[in-house]
Copies of this chain bind each other. A is one copy, B any other.
Amino acid sequence: MRALRFDRQLKMIDDAPVPSVQGEALVRVRYAGICNTDLEITRGYGGFTGIPGHEFVGVVAQSDNPNLIGKRVVGEINAGCGRCAECQAGDSRHCPERSVLGIKNRDGAFAEFLSLPAGNLIEVPNSITDLQAVFAEPLAAALHVLDQVDISPSLQVAVIGDGKLAQLIVVALRQSGCRLTVVGKHQRKLDLASKSGAAVSKVSDAAFEHGGLPSNAGNERFDVVVDASGSPTGLEIALRLVRPMGILVLKSTHHDLATIDTSQIVVNEVHVIGSRCGRLAGAIELLSKGRVDLQPLVSRCLPISEWAAAFSEAASPGTLKIILDLSHRPS
């Protein structure tokens, strides 16, 4: 099968073996989104080697469960051992032996086919288009903030970053009715956040890179700050924006180390909460209501043959989501 493979560099190969894992379901991928984590993987993040990609929608081609075959699905990306306490409690996200689709010890979605345990797959209702369904995984990650932090409508919340994950976090947090401010660098992206109902605060590249405060942020401090900047300086900025005893949610994974003044965390008794994957069922439920429109987040959809352009564009500052079309048959 055709697939993108990363081993020190990203390459397209036409003769990747179709995955065949005993007891798992085989999914023919239709679309796969390029996430910032994928870009970080190509920079060395996590030391991953293999086929990246973890945001997808596809159709079940093979499964031990005949009812699944032909179903359009998205999938939970963490596959656990099934035996540890976490897995037994029905949550493999922190199984110490887990593999993670396209991130850790498991080939991912930038391929014609992927394999996942049948239990990881969630059927997509007809009311959700393919290009919305491909957002199920990152939308679930965004909604996960609401699982971790009790965000009441009275809270002042800031999101650092205006990229694709930040935009999904805005969509997710809007469900809580809280007052949202997005701190970012890109006017067009901030305009989009504005349309989603957030106040926006534009900062310069320099301010972002040196951890400065947004110039128009004044002395305002936020009850909750979510760092979705994708940058090691995001935490530094977030620490300046969060109020004493406030909550700082870290959503970005990146290859670079962050340099921070931990005394700010101590003196202001800030709670810093790491936040990774959410439950896809919640994302599918939200999308099925049709009240959120993620179409504006799609910058472009390109066939896998144009992977080099797709990755280059995904890494450029003005871009939101780039989606690879895997259903496009090789010519």
B266–A276 contact, CB under 8 A?
yes
A96→B221 CA distance, assembly (Å) = 11
Interface residues on A, range: 35 or more
The reply on A321 being an interface residue by CB < 8 A is no
Given A274-B269, A275-B266: A257 and B261 within 8 A (CB)?
yes
Contacts of A96 in B (CB 8 A): 244
The reply on A1 being an interface residue by CB < 8 A is no
- Copies of this chain held together in the complex: 2
Contacts of A271 in B (CB 8 A): 271-274
The reply on A204 being an interface residue by CB < 8 A is no
A267→B78 CA distance, assembly (Å) = 12
Given A232-B262, A235-B262: A267 and B253 within 8 A (CB)?
yes
B269–A272 contact, CB under 8 A?
no
Contacts of A262 in B (CB 8 A): 232, 235, 250, 252, 254, 257-258, 274
Q: What 1/0 mask marks residues of chain A from 240 to 251 whose CB sits below 8 Å from any chain B CB? A: 000011000011
A232→B250 CA distance, assembly (Å) = 20
Which of B94, B235, B252 lies in contact with A269, CB distance below 8 A? B94
Q: Assuming A96-B244, A254-B262, A262-B274, what are 12 further A-B pairs, CB within 8 angstroms?
A: A94-B245, A250-B262, A257-B261, A266-B276, A267-B274, A268-B274, A269-B273, A269-B276, A271-B272, A271-B273, A271-B274, A272-B273
A interface list, Cβ under 8 A from B = 45-46, 94, 96, 148, 232, 235, 244-245, 250-255, 257-276
